[in-house]
């Protein structure tokens, strides 16, 4: 019994030591990050600069990541203000809070400027593109599902605005996996909406029967699937695009192309 008590006591002491070490480490981290009031301000300034520079690249994925980085920098600035208040460093707290207020106002006007920039500077991608006449090119369907499908196939549908599209895939027996779209301008073979198309068009599929089954994005919440976006081009400037349907099996097999079609499309006017 004496041995057990000592063993329990030792375990308790070990737990207390580990907790104390963890708290000490956390305190050191907080002190390093926030004790110098200018450090969070500097980090926030760098994240704001990165966001502005990434906005100039016109790469949506890069813009998304830079905005997330900016938000983290802004949260750090708020945390710094709280830290200075707890430490009763009123001057630094007021200064940091002032920077937060100025940043909110600046971000508001920055967002308005970006909006007007997108509206006043139309996308010129499709200005000089010609639609070929020697290949089969079809128009996206309206919100009506085809009724004469007998073999595996997919169709592109117009959505709420030009540049926004949906698609549906009909297939018989197919292994568990995912399908997604790739898109290319026909004459130049330029990849379209590379940063987002795969993610926004991915659908999980599986059919163990010989009967045709239809698959759509978010079929439960949207009658014709959720839309994906083609960013290149502008309203009223149609061009030809090749849509390829790709399949990734869940069993680790090789990714393969199932089908491709040419469609007459327009880019989304942002």
Residue 156 has pLDDT above 60, yes or no: yes
Could you tell me if 225 and 219 are in contact, meaning their C-beta atoms sit under 8 angstroms apart? yes
Q: 266, exposed or middle or buried, with CB in 10 Å at 0-12, 13-18, 19+?
A: buried
Residue 13 has pLDDT above 80, yes or no: no
Q: How confident is the model at residue 138 (pLDDT cuts 50, 70, 90)?
A: very high
Tokens of 149: 């499908």
Query: Tell me: the pLDDT tens digits for 76-132?
Result: 999 999 999 998 999 999 999 999 999 999 999 988 887 777 666 667 788 889 999
Q: What is the mean pLDDT of residues 34-51?
A: 92
Q: What pLDDT does residue 221 have?
A: 39
C-alpha closest to that of 229 among 211, 217, 212? 217
Rounded to 5°, angle at Cα 76 from 75 and 79: 90
- Give, as one character, the DSSP assignment of residue 240: E
CATH number for domain 153-265, candidates 2.60.120, 3.40.190, 1.20.1070, 2.60.40: 2.60.40
C-alpha closest to that of 80 among 147, 33, 113, 126? 33
Could you tell me if 185 and 239 are in contact, meaning their C-beta atoms sit under 8 angstroms apart? yes
Q: What pLDDT does residue 125 have?
A: 84
C-alpha closest to that of 196 among 177, 178, 181? 181
Q: Where in the chain are the domains? A: 35-120, 153-265
More reliable by pLDDT, 189 or 56: 189
As a whole number of angstroms, the longest Cα–Cα distance in the chain is 94
More reliable by pLDDT, 175 or 16: 175
Pairing relation of β-strands 239-249 and 203-207?
Answer: unpaired
More reliable by pLDDT, 8 or 228: 228
145-170 burial, b for 16+ CB within 10 Å, e for fewer? eeeeeeebbbbbbbbeebbbbbbbbb
Residue 26 has pLDDT above 90, yes or no: no
Residue 247 has pLDDT above 90, yes or no: yes
């Amino acid at each position: 019994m004496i041995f057990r008590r000592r063993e329990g006591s030792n375990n308790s002491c070990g737990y207390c030591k580990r907790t104390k070490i963890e708290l000490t480490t956390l305190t050191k981290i907080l002190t390093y990050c926030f004790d110098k009031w200018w450090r969070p301000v500097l980090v926030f300034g760098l994240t704001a600069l990165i966001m502005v520079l990434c906005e100039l690249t016109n790469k949506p994925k890069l813009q998304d990541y830079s905005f997330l980085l900016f938000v983290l920098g802004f949260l750090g600035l708020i945390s710094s203000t709280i830290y200075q208040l707890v430490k009763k460093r009123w001057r630094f707290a007021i200064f940091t809070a002032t920077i937060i207020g100025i940043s909110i106002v600046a971000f508001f006007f920055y967002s308005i400027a970006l909006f007007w920039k997108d509206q006043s500077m139309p996308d010129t991608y499709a200005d000089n593109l010609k639609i070929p006449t020697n290949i089969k090119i079809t128009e996206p369907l309206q919100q009506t599902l085809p009724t004469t499908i007998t073999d595996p196939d997919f169709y592109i549908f117009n959505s709420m605005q030009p540049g926004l599209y949906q698609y549906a895939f009909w297939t018989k027996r197919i292994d568990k996996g995912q399908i997604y779209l790739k898109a290319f301008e026909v004459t130049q073979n330029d990849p379209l909406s590379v940063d987002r198309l795969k993610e926004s068009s991915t659908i999980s599929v599986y059919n163990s029967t010989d009967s045709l089954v239809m698959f759509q994005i978010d079929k439960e919440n949207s009658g014709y699937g959720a839309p994906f976006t083609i960013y290149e081009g502008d309203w009223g400037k149609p061009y030809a695009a090749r849509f390829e349907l790709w399949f990734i099996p869940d069993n680790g097999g090789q990714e393969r192309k199932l089908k491709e079609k040419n469609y007459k499309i327009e880019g989304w006017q942002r």
